[in-house]
Structure 1
């Protein structure tokens, strides 16, 4: 140590490292090389990397590859970080060295220096605990980072997205039951259409969200196969023959998923297709969420000059100049997040095809965009459920007025007076502002009892039994 610095050396030379920090020389070089966005690694991604390092330290100790005291110190350091300590030590920008080497070494150095402290040594004494020779024993950025993306995505799905989707599904199902007896005008092409039940619209949304969750879960199964153990190029150089199996078992225990070594380690390291598949399923969900959020805004539009068939909860004032104005801000926010997820999906697709030979060097971008997509979608859906969906109320009278005044009611007359005659009735109703009922009776096309039975809004808006 020299004053407030320690001297560290790598293959390119030596540098002064602030004595207080736990990262080392390679991390410092990365911070100097990549002052790009100020965006640091996501906490979930750090968790994934630390879980991998903990599992590898245990496996390598069991297999006799590193000493027990070093392994135990690395494991203790990993547990401390997983519990929340040293989080400010992961400092490398998202946009960094290809494949994620800079972030990977940041993780290795922090664990090594904390392990040294646990063993009573000074930080930087890498002869006792080395970031490369001990923390990274039998590993490479090239197999650790794609594994970390898998683990991070699985953690984010379980911790954030799936619970939020379950909550949203429950919220819209409750509203479906609450609004099932309310008849409203259907709309196609933004024009009047035959009547529907307000509750059935919410039931449709719940079905859509359930199907999206199923698709995401199916895509996520490809994340269970790990390339960890492939080392630099998938050949397993410098690893114990049983290492890849044991480390997969340990990681499976830690996150509660049926993880296993990939059938071909080189393939698992080269192809980003599992991440593209999961990202595509997220984009698919985002597209329907945009549609739902736009529907909510339309149905709540007004209060005097729009549809105003439903009332979304007012959560904050809506204007800096117009008093008493409230906006559908939760639905607006939802659309913005979904657009970001769609953008991330495009970036992931470009990055996934940009690998060459034995490595895809665009993995840092994929890691951030995929995990961030999962987390912001989950947080968005959770907020939408709590601050919007759960508090929606219906404007029953307005819904019924639109349904009764819709020209599309004439559709029910087709099988009784014919399509062309029904079209004439609709045209005359629009020109004279008379109701369809009045015109049909005036022209003697049907008697009152027939017409009442045909234009029964309750029957017209019922779905077939198989859809209920």
Structure 2
């Protein structure tokens, strides 16, 4: 019997554990695509449960109704495991050995989902090669619950573990084994009738399981989250191209005034950047569709069945609705992860493009009175605690910070990709964590940027026209029609005498003539006006200031 002091301590411990789990970004931010059932077609008819454990989502009731610890065993002997958790001995040891970065650095949710998909597919294939159907169907049902993220709170391990992902693979094996045992009416932790290694991990090794899971998770996240967000942002910017196409503004090179263009033309460059980034990301997918499963420990396929690898790829394709294939060379996909580095590189390029776009929009909206002020950014929230009325370009700032993080993720992924020593790369968890993190924040960042900035973005036509008519900038266009030195002399004369005015400049160059923006003057059309002729025309103008 626990005394009151012990009960209070137990309650505090449970509360802290609950807070850590709730704070996990992967628990807080599950994607809609993860909520749909992945393997409903393959899930057998539910078997009556002997008991239903208290879900860790009900943290308050869990603290009050916490079950007694149970004993689990592995090659190192016995270890106590929380009675309300499905994981086993190896997961519990990893929790003690790698108490690093909890809860923020837990294995990403898409990896948990992919583990459920793969284990369900393996059970289906293994039944064709002799696995007891009763055991196989129970594994299928448990794996489907993992794939649907119903058991996500039973995956507590962090990224910072063994570089092969072995402990996360065993975490999945143990959770699915104990859940299947429960489904069949057995005793959790007994490993009977479902063993985590002999049945759930049948025909597999962590060395081919984890890279397979990496590729499944990457393809699902890129196709279901990143590409839709990227395409939507590109389409939103295209609408701005159409909206701004009649607005002539001054161009800028080297941060200095240059020749004119339309605001629509400027934005068309952004659209083209994103179109090319879509192509780059899509081009990285074919190698990610190649699965390592069937290579087992070092790529030879020892302890598996002939045709197992093709059958796994086919089953995973059915369950996900995506096209996967078995890798033609298992040695390469175990020892190197060039496909992940390539995909990360595509995201790095996308980040560079988005940074440029957000930076341009931020500067074009600077001011509003003492900056460029050509764009009017939506006012979403107060910008200062000391300056009333100040509104900042927060969406631009958020997106550029995301881009900086993605670039950092790519550096770590590149270094990790280099560390494939001999037959196995041992930086797998951090590689896939960084790739999935980049996909997540880029997807969310682009959605936010589109919704909270691009859609409501407007041009300040009066400000753009005012800048366009200012002295030095307007003279630049004359070089299409006059000799360079003549224009230079005229420009200096106007600047020195402060003679420039909008009507005067309009007599020399009508700024609204959009046709002239794309026409190149032939050498014969250039009139070699002398400085004297220019000065005489200026001096006779009624708009010259005294």
Answer yes or no: is 1:17 the counterpart of 2:73. Answer: no
When the two structures are superposed, what TM-score results if normalisation uses the length of structure 2?
0.80
Where 2:295 maps in the other structure, the secondary structure is coil
Where 2:191 maps in the other structure, the secondary structure is coil
Give 1:27 deviation, angstroms.
0.5
Answer yes or no: is 1:188 the counterpart of 2:253. Answer: yes
Greater mean deviation of Cα atoms: 189-198 or 409-418 = 409-418
Greater mean deviation of Cα atoms: 310-319 or 414-423 = 414-423
Answer yes or no: is 1:80 the counterpart of 2:145. Answer: yes
Aligned to 1:230: 295
1-structure distance, mates of 2:482, 2:151: 78
Aligned to 1:54: 120
Pairing 1:210-289 to 2, within 5 Å after superposition: 210-289=275-354
Give 1:406 deviation, angstroms.
5.5
Aligned to 1:459: 515
Contact 2:378 2:453 in 1 (8 A): yes
Contact 1:290 1:338 in 2 (8 A): yes
- Alignment coverage as a number of residue pairs: 452
Where 2:455 maps in the other structure, the secondary structure is helix
Q: Select 2:487's aligned residue among 422, 432, 436.
A: 422
Contact 1:59 1:246 in 2 (8 A): yes
Aligned to 1:41: 107
Aligned to 2:91: 27
Where 1:461 maps in the other structure, the secondary structure is helix
Give 1:436 deviation, angstroms.
8.1
Pairing 1:363-442 to 2, within 5 Å after superposition: 363-405=428-470, 407-435=472-500
Where 1:287 maps in the other structure, the secondary structure is helix
Evaluate the alpha carbon distance shift between residue 390 and residue 462 of structure 1 in structure 2; reply closer, same or farther with a 3 A threshold.
farther
Give 1:367 deviation, angstroms.
1.1
Aligned to 2:370: 305
Answer yes or no: is 1:132 the counterpart of 2:197. Answer: yes
2-structure distance, mates of 1:284, 1:432: 48
Give 1:430 deviation, angstroms.
2.9
Contact 1:195 1:457 in 2 (8 A): no
Where 1:94 maps in the other structure, the secondary structure is coil
Alignment deviations for residues 221-244 of structure 1 (CA, whole Å, 9 cap, x no partner): 111111110001101111110111
Evaluate the alpha carbon distance shift between residue 418 and residue 223 of structure 1 in structure 2; reply closer, same or farther with a 3 A threshold.
same
1-structure distance, mates of 2:213, 2:259: 51
Contact 1:185 1:406 in 2 (8 A): no
Structure 1 unaligned spans of 5+: 442-447
Alignment deviations for residues 31-88 of structure 1 (CA, whole Å, 9 cap, x no partner): 1111111111111111111111111111111222x11111111111121222331211
Where 1:184 maps in the other structure, the secondary structure is strand
1-structure distance, mates of 2:163, 2:503: 74
Contact 2:94 2:161 in 1 (8 A): yes
Pairing 1:88-127 to 2, within 5 Å after superposition: 88-127=153-192
Evaluate the alpha carbon distance shift between residue 334 and residue 406 of structure 1 in structure 2; reply closer, same or farther with a 3 A threshold.
farther
Aligned to 2:51: none
Give 1:462 deviation, angstroms.
4.2
Give 1:402 deviation, angstroms.
1.1
Contact 2:241 2:268 in 1 (8 A): yes
Q: For the pair shown, which has the larger CA radius of gyration, 1 or 2?
A: 2
1-structure distance, mates of 2:287, 2:271: 26
2-structure distance, mates of 1:460, 1:140: 68
Contact 2:292 2:330 in 1 (8 A): yes
1-structure distance, mates of 2:219, 2:244: 36
2-structure distance, mates of 1:162, 1:263: 27
1-structure distance, mates of 2:495, 2:225: 51
Aligned to 1:445: none
Where 2:425 maps in the other structure, the secondary structure is coil
Evaluate the alpha carbon distance shift between residue 255 and residue 439 of structure 1 in structure 2; reply closer, same or farther with a 3 A threshold.
same
Give 1:89 deviation, angstroms.
0.7
Alignment deviations for residues 133-159 of structure 1 (CA, whole Å, 9 cap, x no partner): 111111111111111111111111122
Give 1:189 deviation, angstroms.
0.7
Structure 2 unaligned spans of 5+: 1-66, 521-546
Give 1:204 deviation, angstroms.
1.6
Evaluate the alpha carbon distance shift between residue 428 and residue 36 of structure 1 in structure 2; reply closer, same or farther with a 3 A threshold.
farther
When the two structures are superposed, what TM-score results if normalisation uses the length of structure 1?
0.93
Aligned to 2:36: none
Where 1:417 maps in the other structure, the secondary structure is coil
